[in-house]
Homo-oligomer: A and B are copies of this chain.
Amino acid sequence: MKVTNGETAQLGTIEKVVNHFSDNRPTKDCPVTDVLCRISDKWTMHAIISLGKAEKLRFTELKKKIEGISQRMLTVTLRTLEEDGFVTRTIYPQIPPRVEYALTPLGRSLVAQIMSLSNWASENMEEVFKARERFKLN
């Protein structure tokens, strides 16, 4: 990053992010950190991946797809995703209830990122498991 006469140079996205993380600024003052912390959550990532594979899913369908999630954590996760604008929640006034969850355009743009990370995990898990074996022997 080059600075001339007290003026900051135009930054590309990578430099902006790097800048955010290198600054000694409280977490609450860094919006990138804020958003990243919301995304970097186990159940959030799973919910987004599941919704990315289907057009829309009901609560119970999601619960079946996200192995190991509790009803409470699914509710909490979906509420947060809705709050952040990643997911829409459509309630059909029926008994028993029918609630459909679907990704927003913003959510769909995030899917690409998380799918990429998921694919990375799939491609590299063997090496991770080997590393764990090696670590155990020390």
The residues of A with any CB-CB pair to B shorter than 8 Å are 1, 13-14, 16-27, 29-42, 44-46, 49-50, 53, 64-65, 67-68, 82-86, 106, 109-110, 113-125, 127-132, 134-136, 138
> Taking CB as reference atom, which chain B residue is nearest A28?
B68
Pick from B17, B23, B136: contact of A115, CB below 8 A: B17
How far apart sit A1 and B109, CA to CA, in the bound complex (Å)? Answer: 24
Give the residue among A121, A134, A138 with the most B Cβ atoms within 10 A.
Answer: A121
- Say yes or no: A131-B85 contact (C-beta < 8 A), given A14-B119, A18-B53, A124-B106: yes
Q: Smallest CB–CB gap between A64 and chain B, Å?
A: 7
> Taking CB as reference atom, which chain B residue is nearest A30?
B67
Given A13-B123, A14-B119, A34-B125, 4 further pairs, Cβ under 8 A: A16-B122, A17-B122, A30-B67, A35-B128
Q: Which residues of B contact A41 (CB under 8 A)?
A: 40, 42
Pick from B21, B30, B120: contact of A50, CB below 8 A: B21
Q: Smallest CB–CB gap between A137 and chain B, Å?
A: 11
